[in-house]
Amino acid sequence: MSVNPPALPLAGVKVMDLSRALAGPYAASLLSDMGATIIKVESIKGGDSARSWAPFDGDHSLYFDSANRGKSSIAVDFYTPAGKKILWDLAVASDVLIENFRPGVLNSTGLDPELLRAANPSLIIASVTGFGPTGPLSQAAGLDQVAQGMSGLMSVTGLDAENMYRVGVPIVDLVTGIYTAFGVASALAGRKEGGAGSAVSASLLETGLSLSAFQGQQYLSTGEVPVPRGNNHPVLSPYGVFKSADIPLIIAVGSEKQWVQLCALLGAPELAEHPDYATSRLRTVHREALRELIDGLLARQTAAQWLADLRAEGIPAGPIYNYEQAFADPQVQHLQMVQTVQRSDGTALPLLRGPVSVNGRAPVVAKAPPALGQDTLAILEGLGLSAEQITGLMEAGVVYDGAPSSVPTGEVPRG
């Protein structure tokens, strides 16, 4: 007898996703992974700005696709009375509203938070901003790399103090999305106790600063300003990229036991007792000389041979993959992180699933990233509108149903 799997933790939770680009949409996708129903509400005039961002697969933005799994889309004219009424009805019927307009812009769409809470006291409103909801930069536009630079993250990333780099993915946006989803999940848990909704906020600047970890703490406690260390760990050694007989590999020694094991494995047990390398602090002070020694010892074997030996000893180690190699790795394939879904136009889309499993159950992509407005009719029907009312809204240009024959034009309203 087959047994249905248990419901996911957020099954039955309704989320209205008014956000655009990455942080907010990524948060909503993470909530979808946990079972929430996500209605992505987009402007009829172009939709989410990420729909126009490269890279593309035909007419499909892969930037958009990567952050909008598991959602339904309704396209609405935000600034008509009828459009505002639809936004209001959707918000009042939701458990969570996620938005990333500039502070105050949400009100211009008719969604005043105080009025919404009067109509739906249990509503959780999650707001994502560039620099925080108050302060001298609260109205300034903020994007990922701006936050990477301003938060100090770029100052510890790169070859050296003269060559500082951005992280190769929009890490601040992504982690802000994770923080936002965490805040929403916490507010939902709290709502079960008290019944009232909450206001959750996150900003790119706060996220970037929160990622400073020991680098920021070093400055706060000692006044010493950290600098980039290339591919070396800032405070541990040996921990970084090393040469082998063919290609580089990563070795990460995190304890004295592993250091002794590494020396023995490299055929140089005497290194463990060398006065320059006897402690973690000394190894960091003399990291360059130690790296040259280890590179010379590693030159005797290929990276694959060393990786097998290192892993057998329990020493953390791994290759440096490009994405083709990463997706081909047997462990990655075993985890089945890539799932193929069908877009509304019938094209196939290989898509990464969410990374968090519950009770041994890995997330399933509930729905392919939606075309603009592809679910408009179903969502309006869910609000109780009649066929005649929906037709009237379509003919008046208040909503768009995703049909190619009636593609709306215009600019996306900026918040």
- Strand positions, DSSP E, 279-384: 317-319, 338-342, 348-352
Question: How many angstroms separate the Cα of 301 from the Cα of each of 186, 379, 415?
Answer: 50, 61, 56
DSSP-based helix, strand, coil % in the chain, nearest 5:
40, 15, 45
Tokens of 243: 């040469």
The whole-angstrom separation of Cα 283 and Cα 268 is: 15
Q: Which one-letter DSSP state was computed for residue 51?
A: G
How many residues in total does the chain contain?
A: 415
Say whether 254 sits in a helix, a strand or coil. coil
* Angle ∠(67,17,122) on CA atoms, nearest 5: 135
Q: In 10 A of CB 397, how many CB atoms?
A: 14
Q: Beta 348-352 vs 338-342: how paired, if at all? A: antiparallel
Q: What is the pTM of this model?
A: 0.93
- For 196-222, give the secondary structure using H, E and C: CCCEEEEEHHHHHHHCCHHHHHHHHHH
The pLDDT value given to residue 194: 73
CB-CB contact of 190 with 200 (8 Å): no
Q: Which residue has the tokens 């992974």?
A: 33
- The pLDDT assigned to 403 comes to 83
Among 111, 135, 208, residue whose Cα is nearest residue 167:
208
Name the token pair of 321: 């993959």
Q: Of all helices (H) and strands (E), which one includes residue 115?
A: helix 113-119
Contacts of 212-215 with CB under 8 Å at 24 or more apart are: 212/151, 212/152, 212/153, 215/152, 215/156
Amino acid at 146: V
Sheet of strand 124-129, all strands in order from the earlier edge strand to the far edge: 199-203, 124-129, 96-99, 14-17, 37-43, 71-76, 399-400
Residue 78 CA to residue 288 CA, distance in Å, equals: 59
Q: Tell me if residue 113 falls in helix, strand or coil.
A: helix
**C-alpha gyration radius of the chain:** 25
Cis peptide before 238 (omega within 30 of 0): yes
Is 19:49 a contact under the CB 8 Å cutoff?
A: no
Q: What are phi and psi of 374, to 5 degrees?
A: -65, -20
The DSSP output letter for 149 is: H
Q: How far is CA 161 from CA 155, 214, 235, 273, in A?
A: 7, 18, 16, 33
Torsion 170-171-176-179 (CA) sign: positive
As averages over each run of 10 residues, the pLDDT of the chain (415 residues) reads 73 97 97 98 95 96 97 96 97 97 90 95 97 94 95 96 95 98 96 86 98 96 95 94 96 96 96 94 94 96 96 96 96 96 95 95 95 97 96 96 67 37
Residues acting as catalytic residues: 173
